[in-house]
Structure 1
């Protein structure tokens, strides 16, 4: 395990290179190029604001800000899940030629999408400024919430990347599973704060309680919109379990890398 981690650290230059190449490849053939990192979350907000706020006539005060925070956080989650599942398969040609720790590849995907997420935060900042929503001192908790989500997504990427090498049908199911996850999370529907959901149906509260992303997106809104301290209990549990899962999966990668090579 220790040697495996040391080998990963020795390959940090490769990790950085793969992250850079991944960022360049995303919009290599598009006219707007990197501008899509800002335009994509903005268009998402416009679509759902028109659907929920205009057509359905729902949404409360500062609903556009509510939407942009949820959609930017969700975009990081959904893209990491979808691309992380194919992380090892994507680089199978490299894996078959040169030995390197296979856990590097899902980590590469996770950090690539993390950089994309930082551009989404620029869009969030623009919305906060435009609608006159000023975060309070609680914004100092933002790095902690980002760290919790990063650990959560790293654990998912490591798990899915390994499983999809052997059960490739999972990749086909992920589109439908993430869609269910999206609509069962407080991304576009109001009442997303855990305190506000207490008066809702019991099954709504249950979904929010067991949904890690619900805690994460609620924490973002608490500090950026509502000027309140996030509920640390849920965040600490998510971060702690994610960290333990990462350690366990790295150990499992170390013991079973030969199986990955055979499956590829």
Structure 2
């Protein structure tokens, strides 16, 4: 793992260049261009807010804000995992080059979506201001939650992208699993509304994304500190996942150019 990230740091210039290119190319040719960075999460929020405040009414105060708090990190996570699955197998032009650092590609996907998430935070704060919900001092732990999500997402994307090189069906399986994962995570509902205690424990403790989302909700919506034990456990598990993912990625890296 140390060699893996030492090499990643060595090629940080390439990583930054690829992230910049991805950000510029994402909405190239569209009329609104970079504004889609803000419009995409906003439109998602409006659709779900209409559905769950009019059609399937939720008894959650300031529901659009509550939902947006969880929706933004979910978009970061799902976009990274969905696009990251094929990031190696789709880049034969780069992978066949001599000594190209393969780990730069999944890292680029995660970093690009992280930047989009950060750029969307002003929308979250503006929506909170609209409902009269202002950030409290609990926001000081926000960078920690982001760091844990970053480590967890990186580990997962490394594993999926490495396996997808030889098992191309995985990228399609992942897309369907992300849909299931979304509804199993408390983005559109509060955990307390889950009636079955066993199912509630499954949502809150066995689902890493649920731990992250409820932590964001605690910071921005409930104005309290996140639950410590699940978050610490996830942090440890995320580091272990990234360590294992780095080993798997390195062990398979020599096969990438031949397999694609």
Query: Is it true that 1:184 corresponds to 2:180 in the alignment?
Result: no
TM-score (norm 2): 0.94
Shift of 1:200: 4.1
DSSP-derived class of the 2:20 partner = helix
Give the distance between the partners of 1:43 and 1:241, measured in 2 at CA: 33
> Structure 1, unaligned stretches of length 5 or more?
none
1:258 is aligned, of 250, 254, 258, to: 254
The equivalent of 1:22 in structure 2 is: 22
1:113-132 paired onto structure 2 within 5 Å: 113-132=113-132
Give the distance between the partners of 1:91 and 1:198, measured in 2 at CA: 43
| Contact 2:156–2:245, Cα closer than 8 Å, also in 1 | no
1:216-227 paired onto structure 2 within 5 Å: 216-227=212-223
DSSP-derived class of the 1:89 partner = coil
1:54-65 paired onto structure 2 within 5 Å: 54-65=54-65
Give the distance between the partners of 2:147 and 2:4, measured in 1 at CA: 23
Give the distance between the partners of 2:66 and 2:5, measured in 1 at CA: 40
Higher alpha-carbon deviation: 12-21 or 206-215: 206-215
Shift of 1:57: 2.1
The equivalent of 1:37 in structure 2 is: 37
Query: Is it true that 1:72 corresponds to 2:72 in the alignment?
Result: yes
| Contact 1:198–1:205, Cα closer than 8 Å, also in 2 | no
The 1:168–1:117 alpha-carbon spacing in structure 2 relative to 1, beyond 3 Å, is same
Shift of 1:55: 1.2
The 1:74–1:4 alpha-carbon spacing in structure 2 relative to 1, beyond 3 Å, is closer
Calculate the aligned-residue CA RMSD, in Å.
Answer: 1.6
| Contact 1:81–1:156, Cα closer than 8 Å, also in 2 | yes
| Contact 1:4–1:101, Cα closer than 8 Å, also in 2 | no
The equivalent of 1:96 in structure 2 is: 96
Give the distance between the partners of 1:173 and 1:146, measured in 2 at CA: 26
The 1:141–1:80 alpha-carbon spacing in structure 2 relative to 1, beyond 3 Å, is same
1:238 is aligned, of 225, 234, 239, to: 234
Number of residues paired by the alignment? 260
| Contact 2:69–2:221, Cα closer than 8 Å, also in 1 | no
The equivalent of 1:167 in structure 2 is: 167
Shift of 1:2: 4.7
Give the distance between the partners of 2:59 and 2:134, measured in 1 at CA: 20
> Structure 2, unaligned stretches of length 5 or more?
none
| Contact 2:159–2:248, Cα closer than 8 Å, also in 1 | no
Query: Is it true that 1:228 corresponds to 2:217 in the alignment?
Result: no
Shift of 1:176: 1.2
Higher alpha-carbon deviation: 17-26 or 234-243: 234-243
| Contact 1:52–1:59, Cα closer than 8 Å, also in 2 | no
Higher alpha-carbon deviation: 99-108 or 74-83: 99-108
